[in-house]
Copies of this chain bind each other. A is one copy, B any other.
Amino acid sequence: MMVKNTHKELDQAKPAQFELLKVCRDTQARRGILHTRRGAVQTPAFMPVGTQGTVKGMLPEQLAEIGAEIILGNTYHLYLRPGHERIARFGGLHRFMNWNRPILTDSGGYQVFSLGDLRRIDEQGVRFQSHLDGSAHSLTPELSIAIQEALGADIMMVFDECIPHPSTRAYVAESTARSSRWAARCKAAKTDRGAALFGIVQGGMDMALRQASAGDLIEIGFDGYALGGLSVGETAELMYQVMEWTLPLLPQDRPRYVMGVGTPENLIEAVARGADMFDCVMPTRNARNGVLFTGFGKVSIKQARYLDDQTPIDPDCFCYVCRNYTRAYLRHLYQSNEILASVLNTTHNLYYYLHLMQGMREAITTGRFRQFRDEFYRKRNPDANS
């Protein structure tokens, strides 16, 4: 691809150096830079999801153009197809998919645990059946790390269980303790000294278990820390509560990644509580379903009201789509099942998310994050002050 990164040589013993530039006076919001072996990531950062070796509908150059500095790859999907060893023979996922900036891979745990009846868990790991062909597989902490290293991930995640909500306290405690043991096995299994490894705090919606999990992980020691088990059906208030319990427990000098979250509101609130990194399929999946994000809320482009609408999705948006296409055209493409509907909608939605993060970063830098948040809500609720 065209875009080249220049990045400083990293200390191999600290493969993800986090540079904390500023902390908000009014909130816990943090402005930083995460240095990886494939370049720097400005935080707070949003990572577009590239499940099967592609961010659906986007060329790598298009991702770079709208400001994506890091993307997420899915261990479970790539393990099954085309296979991590095959990707390794190709020189890793970056070369395979033509993306030379940082990649974070998940551990495969989330997908495997989502299989429901198709999986069995024990201390060793998880046995499961492929959703593609029903074939039998076993995923362990050691194999998860081996797969992530074969993919060439710049940031790897520990193999853990994303606990369903609601669950009994007993199960949450048992699962969380097991995830801590698995986290230690992941760290022990790691051989790629240039890659970072992040721990994942579990503990369900229970403060004491979250604290225990965070304590376990900090004791093991990781390059960064994630909050898992959120956005699993709980209320936004409960999600924010868990962040408030947990994020302050994590080391100031390491990046904090809130997994699988979320809506634009969720991102702002999580940043206000001290989160640095995010991933979510929401912008990309919603795009393919014709739901578009704007400063004033969501637009469902399939609606007949847009048939003759000559305005862009969001008149205040400067993305390629809003500069060149009308709502009526986008509705026409969606109604006609055209490939370009997914391409243009995804471009806009990812731009919206990445631009929102950029806005937050600027606001933190200039000491105006609280005003930025206020303004964000005011634009969504134009009548709030009237």
Q: Please give the residue numbers on chain A whose beta carbons come within 8 Å of chain B beta carbons, in ascending order.
A: 1, 52-54, 56-59, 81-82, 86, 89-90, 96-98, 307-308, 310, 324-326, 328-329, 332-333, 335-336, 338-340, 342-343
> Are A339 and B339 in touch, CB under 8 angstroms?
yes
Looking at the complex, which one of B59, B90, B310, B340 makes contact with A54 (CB distance below 8 Å)? B340
Cβ distance A226 to chain B, nearest Cβ, rounded Å = 26
Looking at the complex, which one of B1, B59, B81, B336 makes contact with A340 (CB distance below 8 Å)? B59
- CB within 8 Å for A324 and B98 given contacts A81-B336, A336-B81, A340-B54: yes
- CB within 8 Å for A310 and B90 given contacts A96-B329, A328-B82: yes
CB-CB < 8 A to A342: which residues of B?
Answer: 339
CB-CB < 8 A to A89: which residues of B?
Answer: 308
A52 to B98, CA, bound (A): 31
CB-CB < 8 A to A58: which residues of B?
Answer: 340
CB-CB < 8 A to A308: which residues of B?
Answer: 86, 89
> Are B335 and A343 in touch, CB under 8 angstroms?
no
CB-CB < 8 A to A90: which residues of B?
Answer: 310, 326, 328-329
Q: Give 12 new A-B contacts, CB below 8 A, not counting A57-B340, A97-B329.
A: A52-B333, A54-B339, A57-B339, A57-B343, A81-B335, A90-B310, A90-B328, A90-B329, A96-B329, A98-B324, A98-B325, A343-B343
> Are B98 and A338 in touch, CB under 8 angstroms?
no
A58 to B59, CA, bound (A): 12
Cβ distance A332 to chain B, nearest Cβ, rounded Å = 5
- Residue from A58, A326, A332 having most chain B Cβ neighbours under 10 A: A332
CB-CB < 8 A to A52: which residues of B?
Answer: 332-333, 336, 338
Cβ distance A237 to chain B, nearest Cβ, rounded Å = 36
CB-CB < 8 A to A329: which residues of B?
Answer: 53, 90, 96-98
> Are B59 and A332 in touch, CB under 8 angstroms?
no
Cβ distance A295 to chain B, nearest Cβ, rounded Å = 23
A359 to B58, CA, bound (A): 30
A33 to B340, CA, bound (A): 31
CB-CB < 8 A to A81: which residues of B?
Answer: 332, 335-336
CB-CB < 8 A to A310: which residues of B?
Answer: 90
CB-CB < 8 A to A332: which residues of B?
Answer: 52-53, 81-82, 96
Looking at the complex, which one of B1, B325, B328, B340 makes contact with A324 (CB distance below 8 Å)? B1
Cβ distance A91 to chain B, nearest Cβ, rounded Å = 9
Cβ distance A335 to chain B, nearest Cβ, rounded Å = 7
- Residue from A89, A96, A310, A336 having most chain B Cβ neighbours under 10 A: A336
Cβ distance A341 to chain B, nearest Cβ, rounded Å = 9
CB-CB < 8 A to A335: which residues of B?
Answer: 81-82
Cβ distance A39 to chain B, nearest Cβ, rounded Å = 19
CB-CB < 8 A to A57: which residues of B?
Answer: 339-340, 343
